[in-house]
Structure 1
Amino acid sequence: MSQELFLAIDVGTGSVRAALLDTRGKILAVASREHEQIVPQFGWSEQRPRDWWDGVVAATRAVLDQVPSAASRVAAVAGCGQMHGTVLVDDRGELVRETAPLWNDKRTVDYVTAFEAAHPPHSYLGDSANPPTPAWPGFKLQWLRDNDAAAYRAAAAVLMPKDYINLRLTGEMAMDRNDGGASFLMDPGTGQWSEKMVRLLDLDAKKLAPLRNPVEILGRVTAKAALETGLREGTPVLVGGADYPVALLGSGVCRPGVGSEVMGTSAIITAIARQPLLDPAVCNVGTVEGNWGAFMLLESGGDSMRWARRAFHEKQFSYEDIVAKAAEAPAGSERLFFMPYLAGERLGDHRNARAQYFGIGAGHGLAHMHRAVLEGVAFAVKRHINILDGISGAPLERVIASGGGARTKLWMTIKASVYDIPILVPSEPECGLVGCAIMAATATGRFGSVEEGADRYVSYDEEIRPDPRWADIYRPMQAFFERLYAHSQSLYDDLDRLPQ
């Protein structure tokens, strides 16, 4: 008998990807199809849900063609997808609006500002698990209610991107509690829609899809979907999860004490906790295993290196050249600090924060400037770790790193030494696809829990441990960085008032 397979589907912002994985969690085939991001005006960002479905059809057929007898061997389909993309469908499952505003769409900023002015954080954090931001679907629904009233009235259900794909596969409508928990509309205590938050935003609760757990079987591939995708009719389809929590699972981050750092353009640090960590500067997302991922975002993580490459070298140096130059400077960059707030801050009172070097002396050179950038990002993330540790009362014991920055050994060693805990890098960088396979394997009875699945499917290339000498240097520098951060805040508004 041929070995069973799992089909993972990832609806990303740039493309849809489909992958076949075996029952050991190994990726056998991957295919992707790009789709367009529509920008009708500055600050807006939309996509067509039909484009996602076309991508799923094409990518699924492509991977099924790569593996012998694949369609008959797929034991379950598990999907994940970009968060917050707000899809409206009618009671027949048909789109009532051609496009959906995405996670990075900022058209709701006035609604967020109005909510913040009317409601102090203590009055809603316990009911929403999150501070207000333009990304949340709750505010997107307010905008749709007021600016596309016909579509809002016609909508029977609000879905997230992977939920729309699941609807097309099975005919069933539901949303998982990962996406629900990051909507600004779900009660973190009950795991159901919050009557209070729905009322505060003046929305129609009847339009919110039923909330279910990611590992539940949502339905089965219909005859129509089988004809389009090449899948076998009746193949089980999971509820699935939001892409970020599923990637956390696929990197082994699924227990308190373990954190995740995604190092791309931004740097996102996440701590797993039993309950949401309630603070106006902290966001929370439900995780696949039923915990919460409390996260904070540094807008300019890897982007700080990109800035240095452009500002100092007009892009003539490679990133490898910059890291090699930084390695010439001693740990601590001889007391030179870099505050990495090139794009301000996502949350809090100082979204207009700015970057700066502090402590430049005549002895400092290019190597110090570059190393200070790497160290400054580490200090800024450590500041976030300190906030999360302080709220949870359970300090992080290790961090799992992913993203482009995780491949830079010097930066990893600097970060491990600043954080003073080990950093691990997963052997398989496709953490979202692995997370889908873990869910599928658990749903089909191969594992008793997704944590057991993560233990079996996730391995690590190496463990980067703190350098004790560097850690001794960085510890007092971290305290100074925190003071510099606090003192600088009083200048940002004054700087904005200066004539241009």
Structure 2
Amino acid sequence: MSASHDVLLGIDVGTSSVKVVAITTSGTVLGDHSVAYETTTPRPGWAEQDAAAWWRAIGEATRALLARVEERGPSTVVGIGLSGQMHTFVLLDDDDRPLRPAITWMDTRGEGLLEDARRRVAEADLAQQLANPVVLGLTLLPLTWLAAHEPNVLARAATLLLAKDYVRMRLTGEKGSEPTDASATLLFDVAARAWSDATVAAFGLPRGMLPTLGESATVAGTLRDEAAEHLGLRPGIPVAFGAGDQQAAAVGMGSVRAGQVQLTVGTGAQVLAVRDRVVADVSGRLHAFCHVRGWITQASVNNAGSALAWVCNLLGVGWNDVYAGLGRGVGGPVFVPYLTGERTPLMKGHARGAWIGLSSEHTSSDLARAAGEGVVAAIAEAIGTVVETRTWRGALRVAGGGMGHATFAQALADASGLPIEVRETHEASGVGAALLAGVAVGAFGGLDEAAALAPERIAAEYQPDPAQHEGWAARRATLRELDAIGFHEVAERTRSDRRVRTIR
């Protein structure tokens, strides 16, 4: 840049790091910067984060990015948008201070309350409002756990904020949420795009802690002095409500019209189909959430990059070792990747992982290869559930994580039997958040104009190889068969027995 340019910032509060993206009002991506933070597991099944760590990371990432942007010439930040890991929440006291660490979407502590929660939903006839299966990962279950095990914390909670909403409160001083994130809490009437008072009452939760709602592409407040100093910006910059990470990624990939379908792969993997109406999945394998306009059908996979990162750390191998194995065809041991339970297609928080079919001849390379195959097969299973809804129009747009590696992308095309277009998109959620900020401040004429600026360049295309598809179909069938014979239930009983012996 030579002359001064108006710049939009997108802040994505991800599962493993915050990513800040800068774009111009013409849609050019100027750069991005990430800063990582930890997820702690104080007890088995728990997954918590420190909200203060989010805030520290945002300050560091924003300042580092702005320094690089300024090297290209003078610029003025005119709007800030937000996206964030969905379902993850923090409870605040009357002084807006966190009462405890944030509980993330990976947390499974509420598993023992699932049956009771499902009973309450059925007795209160809430299924149509919620439009989603009652499963772990969404906000309701850990809240009911807190009501049972930390009632004093819940009693002191003045406000419940989702991850990005907490950050927005720190930026502007204003507390609020919006439908894309709120619809993924199991506390929301998805069709009405409003909190479900009936659900709150059925579970005996305090209605007053749920924040007011705005729309994703509108201004929620302006940057206050303290936050401006933290980020290295001027006060008064408008801050948009933003969106959940998957819906923001959809905007960042131009997916805002009914019939468009995309896949993003990161810590987890999500297949998202844009809809013009709410369609609840009667099989209970898919989610129905609000989009920034309209709605989405979403398949959610908990164990993608997170499972592979665990394998690499355990075996002492690199990511390239995992990818290299995928280029040799399907075969050898089977890896069941459900290390933290699984949503689509199982919807079982107690599902667990394993290597199966091992012999003394197998090496760490064989285990790494099996891990890659297991994750690809699980993602392909999720894609298959969305294909069955017959909402498909056009190509599968793909971005994120290993999709930049040719062998991983080809394996996914072979396993799903679908052609794949890998979009050249830098941090799609952050780009989408920035585009939503642009709509909010009037830099764009509306959502369609903003989405049209999303990076459209196809970095690579992959066609499924029929010769490989049969092997992948068998690997996918193995995951289904293990579930059908009760593998996960047996594994859970083993874990329960071990816990009992430890307690004694």
* TM > 0.5: yes
Distance 1:163 1:120, change over 3 A: same
Structure 2 counterpart of 1:290: 294
| Map of 1:413 onto structure 2 | 410
**Secondary structure at the counterpart of residue 274 of structure 2:** strand
Backbone CA RMSD of aligned residues: 4.0
Worse-matched range after superposition: 480-489 or 409-418:
480-489
Tell me the CA shift for residue 207 of structure 1: 1.7
Amino acid of the structure 2 residue aligned with 1:435: G
Tell me, in whole angstroms, the C-alpha distance in 1 between the residues paired with 2:394 and 2:492.
Answer: 40
Q: Does 1:84 align with 2:117?
A: no
CA change 1:462–1:233 in 2 (3 A) is closer
Structure 1 letter corresponding to 2:379: V
Partner residue of 1:209? Answer: 211
Q: Percent identity?
A: 26
> What is the rounded CA distance, in whole Å, between the counterparts of 1:402 and 1:290 in structure 2?
22
Deviation at 1:342, TM superposition (A): 5.2
Offset, 1:451: 3.7
| Letter paired with 1:471 | P
Q: Which residue of 1 aligns with 2:484?
A: 489
Q: 1:267 to 1:340 in 2, by over 3 A?
A: farther
User: Does 2:450 correspond to 1:453?
Assistant: yes
1:28 and 2:25 matched: no
1:280 to 271, 281, 284: 284
Which has the larger Rg?
Answer: 1
User: Equivalents in 2 of 1:481, 1:64: separation in Å?
Assistant: 45
SS of the counterpart of 2:255?
A: coil
In structure 2, do the counterparts of structure 1 residues 452 and 60 end up closer, same or farther at CA, with 3 Å as the change threshold? same
Structure-1 residue corresponding to 2:145: 143
* Structure 2 residue 466 is matched with structure 1 residue 471: yes
5+ long unaligned stretches in structure 1: none
- Which is further off, 436-445 or 486-495? 486-495
Cα distance, 1:272 vs. partner?
2.7
Structure 1 residue 420: Cα displacement: 3.5
TM normalised by structure 1 equals: 0.81
What TM-score does the superposition give when structure 2 sets the normalisation length?
0.81
Equivalent runs, 1:153-164 vs 2, <5 Å:
153-164=155-166
**Secondary structure in 2 matching 1:159:** strand
Count of aligned pairs between the two proteins: 485
1:386 is aligned to 2:384: yes
CA distance in 1 between counterparts of 2:129 and 2:426 reads 35
Deviations 1:204-260 (A, max 9, x none): 222210122111111122344445444323221101122232123213333343333
Q: Give, in angstroms, the shift of residue 264 of structure 1.
A: 4.0
- Secondary structure at the counterpart of residue 73 of structure 1: strand
Match of 1:443 in 2: 440
1:45 and 1:104 in contact (8 A); partners too = yes
Question: Which amino acid letter does the alignment assign opposite residue 177 of structure 1?
Answer: P
Pick closer, same or farther for the CA change 1:383–1:41 going to 2, 3 Å. closer
Deviation at 1:194, TM superposition (A): 0.9
**Alignment partners' CA distance in 2, 1:121 and 1:280:** 18
Structure 2 counterparts to residues 78-477 of structure 1, below 5 A: 78-90=81-93, 94-95=96-97, 97-116=99-118, 119=121, 123-264=125-266, 266-274=268-276, 275-278=278-281, 279-297=283-301, 299=303, 303=307, 307=311, 315=316, 319-320=319-320, 323-324=323-324, 326-329=326-329, 338=334, 340-341=336-337, 343=339, 345-346=342-343, 347-348=346-347, 351-352=350-351, 377-390=375-388, 392-395=389-392, 397-467=394-464, 470-471=465-466, 474=469
Aligned CA distance change for structure 1 residues 406 and 122 (closer, same or farther; 3 Å)? farther
